[in-house]
Amino acid sequence: MKRSKTLFLVEVALFSALAFVFDLLANIFQLKIWAQGGSISIAMVPVFLIAFRWGIKGGMLSGLLLGGLQVVSGQAYIAHPVQGLLDYFVAFIVLGLAGVFMKQIQHAINEHSKSKVITYVIAGTLLGSALRYAAHVVAGIVFFGEYAPAGTPVAIYSLLYNGTYMLPAFILSAIFVSLLINTAPKYFNVTSAKLNY
């Protein structure tokens, strides 16, 4: 039990750091080209992997750490404290809700059904990505309305602006997570020690 808790904490910390590194790489390779924040990166992949291995608790904690690392490192674009909370804490914490599909993914792995694994991975990454997208859209409507082109409703601007990077990020995440889980399925098998998390 103690070893399992330590493993949980170590994996969450390592995968959160990896997610942050992926986000930094997106910035270095100029994939962070949006004026008010956002990037096409695979930073969500480690958070989803933790969510599918440890469930909602692990995924949400990993998302929280990712958002926190972005803020403390100065990578965050914060125009207002509430916007910062929405864009960097709420948006990344809700990625962890993909963990609602943990048991279905693990069951599909035990059945040796790659198609079911892929289906549940896509469902989980879609859920997490859609919730993150919603948090960014709300922040955009409330705090970045002045950037909308003249005559464009703020809600439409925020939906389109955030969609330009969230859709590709979702697609990349779903592909990478599906490949990784199908490559190393034993890593995601249920053990009695993990059921407490």
Count of C-beta atoms within a 10 Å radius of residue 49: 27
Q: What is the pLDDT of residues 32-91, one digit of tens each?
A: 555 555 678 899 999 999 999 999 999 999 999 999 999 999 888 888 999 999 999 999
73, two tokens: 């490192």
Instruction: Kindly report the pTM of this predicted structure.
Output: 0.90
- Tell me the pLDDT tens digit for each residue of 160-189: 999 999 999 999 999 999 999 999 998 887
Going along the chain from its start, the domains and CATH numbers come out as 2-191 (1.10.1760.20)
Look at residue 148 in the predicted model and tell me its pLDDT.
86
Per DSSP, helices labelled H in the chain are: 2-28, 44-54, 56-72, 81-84, 91-93, 102-110, 114-143, 154-183
